[in-house]
Amino acid sequence: MTFEVLTPRSLTEALDALDSEKNLLPMAGATDLMVYLEAGSLPACTFLNLQEVSELRPSLSVNGGLTLGALTTYRDVRVSSVKDDFPMLARAAREIGSLAIQSRGTWAGNIANASPAADGVPALMAYDADVELASKKGRRRIPLSSFYRGYKQMDRRPDELIAAVHLPSRPPGWREYFRKVGTRRFQAISKTLLAGRILMDSENVVKDVRLVFASVAPYTLRAVRTEGVLRGRELTPALVHRAVESLQDEIHPIGDIRSTEAYRRRVTSNLLRDFLQN
């Protein structure tokens, strides 16, 4: 099996290559691609190495909201002041793989890998992130919450690259929650994960809420139906019970070598209760 590497020096060169050549596979940190390569499950292709594309180099630009350049790594977030403004990002970055993975792996790559067990995507989605896609035809932005269409299926054409990830400003008053459940605290793939945000008013009514889960559906799931159960209602024990029932209908966990469907359902419900009741 043959693999080649093409290294463009500019975004224009990278987009030209994607537009004119078939079987190109974009590569940033390569932390996910190397897993498939070592397992022998990656078909022959040409890697489009993006590390020398200056327009995609790591950047954490805060101007009201937050922009993450496509080559921004988890470590970049961990060591920057961004962790004070978007603490769930720092929490997710700390729990992704090892220090070596955090130094190479990128947020954009975590999105593009489209794993249901992604650790970074739920936090981004809970912060209402947009994905900026670039091609020779121009640029477009799409909400991360609607980016996935099925298992490993994305709203990204073969001629497009993820150029950046944009998060809106984080208004005050929201309470946040990030909890990953795995075999170990660190260096383990999640069995289930909840990234949540909730905004309450003075009467204990849910003004707004975000509930995003990993490892319980074919892709990172924003539980919009369960959010709708909560939104605009007083947060009582009865409402929490209704939300948990709704969530059970909304998730679709599987049993695999890491966990069982029953375990994932039970623990995911417990995470939601813990978030809403504390």
Residue 236 is predicted with a pLDDT of: 98
How far is Cα 177 from Cα 210, in angstroms, rounded to an integer? 10
The sign of the torsion formed by the CA atoms of 192, 144, 161, 72 equals: negative
How far is Cα 268 from Cα 116, in angstroms, rounded to an integer? 14
**Ranges of residues in the chain whose predicted pLDDT is under 70:** 1, 186-187
Tokens of 216: 């319980």
To the question of domain 3-167 being in CATH 3.90.1200.10, the answer is no
How far is Cα 208 from Cα 104, in angstroms, rounded to an integer? 35
Place of tokens 């992704």: 96
CATH class of 174-277: alpha beta
Residue 51 is predicted with a pLDDT of: 94
Residue 195 is predicted with a pLDDT of: 98
Going from N- to C-terminal start, the domains of the chain cover: 3-167, 174-277
How far is Cα 13 from Cα 11, in angstroms, rounded to an integer? 5
Report the predicted TM-score, pTM, of the whole model to 2 decimal places.
Answer: 0.94
Residue 106 is predicted with a pLDDT of: 95
Residue 182 is predicted with a pLDDT of: 87
Half-sphere exposure of 153 (CA within 13 A, CB side): 5
37, burial (CB in 10 Å: exposed 0-12, middle 13-18, buried 19+): middle
